[in-house]
Structure 1
Amino acid sequence: MSTPDPKRSYDATRRRERAESEREETRVKVVEAATRLFAEKGYTATTVSQIAQEAGVALQSVYKAAGSKAELMHQVVDVAVAGDTDDGLVQERPPFAAFMAETDPVAKVRLFAGMICDVQERLAPIQRAQSESAAVDATAATYWRNAHLLRRETFDFALRTLPPDRLRRSHEETTATAWAIGSTEVYTLMTTVLGYDRERVRAWLADTLVDALLRT
């Protein structure tokens, strides 16, 4: 009976780890390339071949990384929301921890407005592409709807930490109001159509949410 070779087992583990690392590096390249092209050209005008060329990878690598163009759009949105390619929910990130630790309702809503703007600054450039994807692809439309519902769930969780006696309306209406005002569509209107710069739109959203959500 042969004795297991520890070195061979170690080498196999190292090879698997190296292969996994290479796959993740490729996925990051593909998502970054897709983000640039979706922002520049839109969803329908961007092809998977163009994304592969932009990423400097083989066409098959794009499909291995994402599976489909709709799935790739979904990954682009996820990275934009999170701000990086690490796994984990928004609720697990340091800004959310600071929000949860704040006890003053007004300061808490202002922190929340800042968090919304952080996300929307990253989402706004691909908002047109995301809307296009939902209009032409059933899978992408499902991702689009689920992304909005997930954002509402996040708002619901966060705003439940506000004292009920300080809310102007019910918790459900408070969540719906913040969810609508804090949308990518509104952010894009304020910055693109009205021309608000970064600091002005942040101040506007913070003031608007405080006035809309809290009793004085």
Structure 2
Amino acid sequence: MKIKLLLLTCFLSFHWMTSQEFFFLSGKNLTSYDYSVSNTATDFNLKSKVGSNYELGYEHILNAKISYIGSLTLNQFNSFSTNEVRSYSWNSTYLGIQNAASYTILKTENEIEVKLKAGVNLSTIIDGTEQINGVLYNIKNEPEFSGVFFQPLIGLDIKYVITDYVSLSIGYNFSKAFKFSNSTDEKLSFINNQLQLGIHFPL
């Protein structure tokens, strides 16, 4: 009986380990700011600006189609604006925790896998600056930028198995980050298009 239990434990442990992988992703964000002030018209002509993104996490394969993905993220959400008098630029960096699920829609014989992904990211600002006509201001503690941002996302990932020990991927995610509560009349959200390249290490 003890031998059977030991064998079962070994099998389950092996199955658990072989159903996981660690990964690192990095890429670029193209972010648009959605900014408004209650009962006030704004003259900002906000434009998209490129920033970087990084993600470190693990994937647990639940079955042949569905996986759970948990990760730490670092995202830059940037924007700029100009008018006849002033030029503005915003650079903000957010640290987050992301939980997602993926569903395999295609897997070929030569180990190319296509997955749909949906999830939620919770993040907070760790660094931020506003530049007005060349003068820098710290925005880390500004109420419209600080606090916890809720960021639903959807995406598509394509992964190619190089060997049994490493895979490469490319992915696209679309998301909108916003806050449920804000103590001021100023409201800010980030509409983000994200491109990522990744390396994966199955266990």
TM score, norm. by length of structure 2: 0.26
The structure with the greater share of residues assigned to helix is 1
The structure with the greater share of residues assigned to strand is 2
TM score, norm. by length of structure 1: 0.25
